[in-house]
Amino acid sequence: MKKAVCLVSGGLDSTVTTYIAKKNNYDLFPLSFLYGQQHEKELQSARTIGSLLTEEEHIFFTLPLHQFGGSILYKSEKPQIKSTPLDKIGTLIPPTYVPARNTVFLSIALSYAESLDAGAIYIGVTATDYSGYPDCRPEYIEAFQTMADLATKKGVEQKQIKIETPLLYLTKKQIIIKGVELNVPFELTWSCYQGRTKACGLCDSCQLRLKGFQEAGIRDPIEYETTPDFYKIK
């Protein structure tokens, strides 16, 4: 059976991506990162999703990026996460940007994939309805693939480790519809930047998620403290 390393954050996008990898008949090796995030709610979701899809070990890789600072996603920074008007999300790189995060994650996944002799790495990046992160753009993924082919022993042997980004050109609405087709348990995913009992409903991540559910005409099964006015599904 073909092996794939799957980057699992516990969020909606990485969960749908992992279900797609499963459907593509890969033996899944889930990989999550502890990089000093504000909270562990998404990691709890990641653990649950991983356990539903594979019996292979789920690696939680400790990666002390927060010692560099530079992002309000880190626990050590402790700022208030502000709500951005929906039409402004994605127009600027937001303060939740973690310097070179996807590059670090993909590089470690590449090392793991080569050690396992895996043929693919699945990552749930999306360039549509995105949040302004430079490392989610198609040209970035393409450049990473070119670099990865030159970086590894497998590459030298002409055996590619393919960076698979099945959501790259999908909108959040399309991702949710794809998730419904694959019976993704949305109620187990966590997207909110806050780590409270219920999702806040106001951070960029909550707003983009709710906009996707609204456009798909599907009710988001997780609980929110509040929901934006545009979300009409009860």
Give the binding site for a copy of itself (CB under 8 A): 59, 61-65, 67-70, 93, 97-104, 106-108, 110-112, 114-116, 134-135, 137, 139-140, 143-144, 146-148, 150-153, 155-156
> DSSP of 114-154, one letter per residue?
HHHT-SEEE----SSS--S-GGGSHHHHHHHHHHHHHHSHH
CB closer to a copy of itself out of 103 and 185? 103
- Residue pair 32/43 in contact (Cβ under 8 Å)? The answer is yes
CB closer to a copy of itself out of 116 and 188? 116
Q: How far is the CB of 69 from a copy of itself (least distance, A)?
A: 5
Residue with tokens 């794939």: 4
Spatial distance between the Cα atoms of 197 and 61, rounded to a whole number of angstroms? 25
Measured in degrees and rounded to the nearest 5, phi and psi for residue 138 equal: -55, -40
CB closer to a copy of itself out of 52 and 147? 147
Q: How far is the CB of 65 from a copy of itself (least distance, A)?
A: 6
End-to-end CA distance of the chain: 43
CB closer to a copy of itself out of 8 and 20? 8
Q: How far is the CB of 61 from a copy of itself (least distance, A)?
A: 7
Give the distance from CA 202 to its chain's centroid.
19
Q: Which two tokens stand for residue 14?
A: 């990485």
Q: How far is the CB of 63 from a copy of itself (least distance, A)?
A: 7
Q: How far is the CB of 106 from a copy of itself (least distance, A)?
A: 8
